Chains A and B, each alone.
Chain A
Amino acid sequence: AQTVTQSQPEMSVQEAETVTLSCTYDTSESDYYLFWYKQPPSRQMILVIRQEAYKQQNATENRFSVNFQKAAKSFSLKISDSQLGDAAMYFCALTLNTGTASKLTFGTGTRLQVTL
């Protein structure tokens, strides 16, 4: 079974600064996908970024980028030029590239505060 660990329950960043959220995972499979989801106070789950395990290049999406270290099973999210609207709960998630409909396994989340 796969597991996802987020060791930072809360993080804080000043507006316009950069913050990195950590995530580690464990799976015996070699083919999988990793995601970061954002959950604002409305509790809607919003996809932030996706990384395929077979790709060495780190994914980027505007101000969001990841540092994917496959050997270390690490998948951190960097948010640059932080904005007040980035304040939310961030969940790291993993899905295997096997089976018919692959479930997402989530970490416990990191609450990000953005201060002025």
Chain B
Amino acid sequence: EPEVTQTPSHQVTQMGQEVILRCVPISNHLYFYWYRQILGQKVEFLVSFYNNEISEKSEIFDDQFSVERPDGSNFTLKIRSTKLEDSAMYFCASSVTGRSEQYFGPGTRLTVT
């Protein structure tokens, strides 16, 4: 069964460093999303992406964040200068249409020290 994959599973970085989180969505999906979950809290929407551009972004997704689909398979989330409060689980998701169920990857746990 096709699934969303994410790498790395765990990333530790120092405050101020840049990180890139990688995702490979399900191959026939056209809509891509990033969410984050701070430990013990609910899952929060960051950004949605379709047709090589951002469809919607939340207030969390400020200028420090960017997304890219560099090739036909990868979907990346870049945090330019990490802060302590960026420590969270980051989930990538994809869907066939903009309204169908979203399938999530296993997540990347980001720890900023």
Contacts and interface: CB of A to CB of B under 8 A. Distances in A.
A104 B107 contact: no
B42 A100 contact: no
Contacts of A50: 101
Interface residues of A, number: 25
Interface of A: 33, 35, 37, 42-47, 50, 91, 93, 95, 97, 99-109
Interface of B: 31-33, 35, 37, 41-45, 48-50, 55-56, 58, 89, 91, 93, 95, 98-99, 101-107, 109
Contact of A107 (B42, B50, B107): B42
A102 to B, nearest CB: 5
Contacts of B102: 47, 95, 104
Nearest to B54: A101
B23 to A, nearest CB: 13
25 contacts: A35-B101, A43-B37, A43-B106, A44-B106, A44-B107, A45-B93, A45-B104, A45-B107, A46-B104, A47-B101, A91-B42, A91-B43, A97-B99, A100-B48, A101-B31, A101-B32, A101-B56, A101-B95, A103-B45, A103-B48, A103-B56, A104-B43, A104-B45, A104-B93, A107-B42
